[in-house]
Structure 1
Amino acid sequence: MKDNDPTDPKGLIREAFRIHGISIYECRSIFVDWALSVPVTDHAPLIEALLARHQGEPHDHPMKVVLTEGLATKPPAGRRGGRAARVP
């Protein structure tokens, strides 16, 4: 069922917080699926909104840990590869 929530259109993050005993590896997989399902290039504002929404969850919940990691980790800017990257 599709949700009208632009921050979590498939309800993946919401459901992850409801799964008892979910592992960090499962949360990372869910996070990747979530990131691919939202049509934005900068996920930080959405992650911040999700963290605010789920602030009442335990701070060590695996999904909260993954969301926090998602804010801290920025992909490297610029080109990744090609001849210019290999040859000094």
Structure 2
Amino acid sequence: MEKDPNDPRGLIRESFRIDGITAEECRTIFLDWVLTMPAEADIKTVVRALLATYADANDSHPMTATLQDALAQVNPARRRGGRRARFEN
């Protein structure tokens, strides 16, 4: 089998083959996959390519949902609390 440049270790491909895999397990596999991607990789573009490869045949699979969640817009984190919260201790 030829290596997929978007999934060089085959983690995503194999996750779709695991019967009864949970959403939590898919998120763990996805995290492992994303941490091994090159720093210069455009993760959203790669995730779109993976969805194009696997999603049609596996639309109800938890990894499909995990990949779709990776494309969702996330609001940047904000510091909460005022001056008083920063200086209490």
Aligned length: 79
1:69 partner letter: D
Q: Mark the CA change 1:28 to 1:75 in structure 2 (over 3 Å): closer, same or farther.
A: farther
Q: Please give the alpha-carbon distance, in whole angstroms, between the structure 2 residues aligned to 1:37 and 1:52.
A: 21
Is the CA contact 1:6–1:38 (under 8 Å) kept in the aligned structure 2? Answer: no
Q: Mark the CA change 1:42 to 1:66 in structure 2 (over 3 Å): closer, same or farther.
A: same
Paired position in structure 2 for 1:64: 64
> CA offset at residue 76 of structure 1?
2.8
TM-score (norm 2): 0.75
- Residue 49 (1) aligns with residue 49 (2): yes
1:76 partner letter: P
Q: Mark the CA change 1:73 to 1:27 in structure 2 (over 3 Å): closer, same or farther.
A: farther
Q: Mark the CA change 1:76 to 1:13 in structure 2 (over 3 Å): closer, same or farther.
A: same
TM-score (norm 1): 0.75
Structure of larger gyration radius: 2
Structure 1, unaligned stretches of length 5 or more? Answer: 81-85
> CA offset at residue 55 of structure 1?
2.8
Structure 2, unaligned stretches of length 5 or more? Answer: 80-85
**Aligned residues: CA RMSD:** 2.5
